[in-house]
Structure 1
């Protein structure tokens, strides 16, 4: 299945939402859109494409109503999600965790273009396996530019077959949080200040902490 949604935020009005396939958007507050799955997705072979545009002076909060559980398909184990973001206003993107079920593989690709005036908070949470499962695989790529200049290139692999996975150290959960232009914020992870502004916090462990 191919699912896609576009959310465009303009100052002084509700965001415009265009979607199809297995995902829809719902206004829950004047500046907040919740993404809702309308079908059993992602299964192996599925691809999700999300495009967010935040115009100057606009504020947008993106949330999801439930965790995303990736499952292997009948013939294909791998599914993908791609986020393309253009932000000239203020964006707070904090979806519920992605749970990679045993036997499935999932890849996330996030590409962000920021204006100099933009403000951003992006949090991503991933858990390998449901109860008793440890053999799923996830890879995440994050690419962020401010204007024409690169801000961040970041890639993480997690789970069975990941580069850093071995018998002694095998984390099965991670949290990444990117903020721009803030250089410091409270976090339980390791905080890295970025050369062109902003900061990235990362945490890894066996299970995601309770909210």
Structure 2
């Protein structure tokens, strides 16, 4: 299944939404949108594409109604999700965790373009396996540019077959949070925070369970 979502936020107007496939977008506030699964996705073979555009002067908060559970399909264990974020205003994107269940292999890619005067909070949470499961694999890449200047190139792998795979102490969960132009994490945020040369900061955490 192919699922596509387009969200466009404009100043002083409700967000414009376009959806097809297994994911629906719902306005839940004047500048808030929740993504809701209308079918079981992602299964192996599924592809999800989400594009978010925040125009200058607009504010947008994006959440999900529930965790995303990636499952293997009958023909392949692999599924893919691509997020494209074009931000000239303010964007707060914090979906519920992605759970990579059974022997699923999920590949996520996020591309961020930040304009002058924009602000961003982007958080991603991932868990390999439901209770007692360790067979899943997740790969996530994040590419961010600010005003045409490279800001961040970040890639993480978790689970069976990853570079950190180890039967004794391999991490099975991670949290990544990118903030721009802020150069410090919120008080109480766990993990390690790295200030970025072009502005903003990246906070990362890895462990066994979220």
Say whether the fold is shared (TM-score over 0.5).
Answer: yes
Q: Distance in 2 between matches of 1:31 and 1:180?
A: 19
Dislocated runs of 4+, deviation >3 Å: none
Question: Matches of residues 21-170 of structure 1 in structure 2 within 5 Å?
Answer: 21-170=21-170
Q: Distance in 2 between matches of 1:164 and 1:26?
A: 38
Q: Distance in 1 between matches of 2:110 and 2:64?
A: 16
Q: RMSD of aligned C-alpha atoms? A: 0.7
Cα displacement string for residues 42-97 of structure 1 (whole angstroms, at most 9, x for unaligned residues): 00000000000000000000000000000000011000000011000000000000
Q: Which runs of 5+ in 2 are unaligned?
A: none
Q: Distance in 2 between matches of 1:105 and 1:171?
A: 16
What does residue 201 of structure 1 align with?
203
| 1:168 to partner: Cα distance | 3.9
What does residue 183 of structure 1 align with?
183
Cα displacement string for residues 93-133 of structure 1 (whole angstroms, at most 9, x for unaligned residues): 00000000021000100000000211000000000000110
Report the count of equivalent residues: 208
Q: Distance in 1 between matches of 2:84 and 2:51?
A: 5
TM-score by length of 2: 0.98
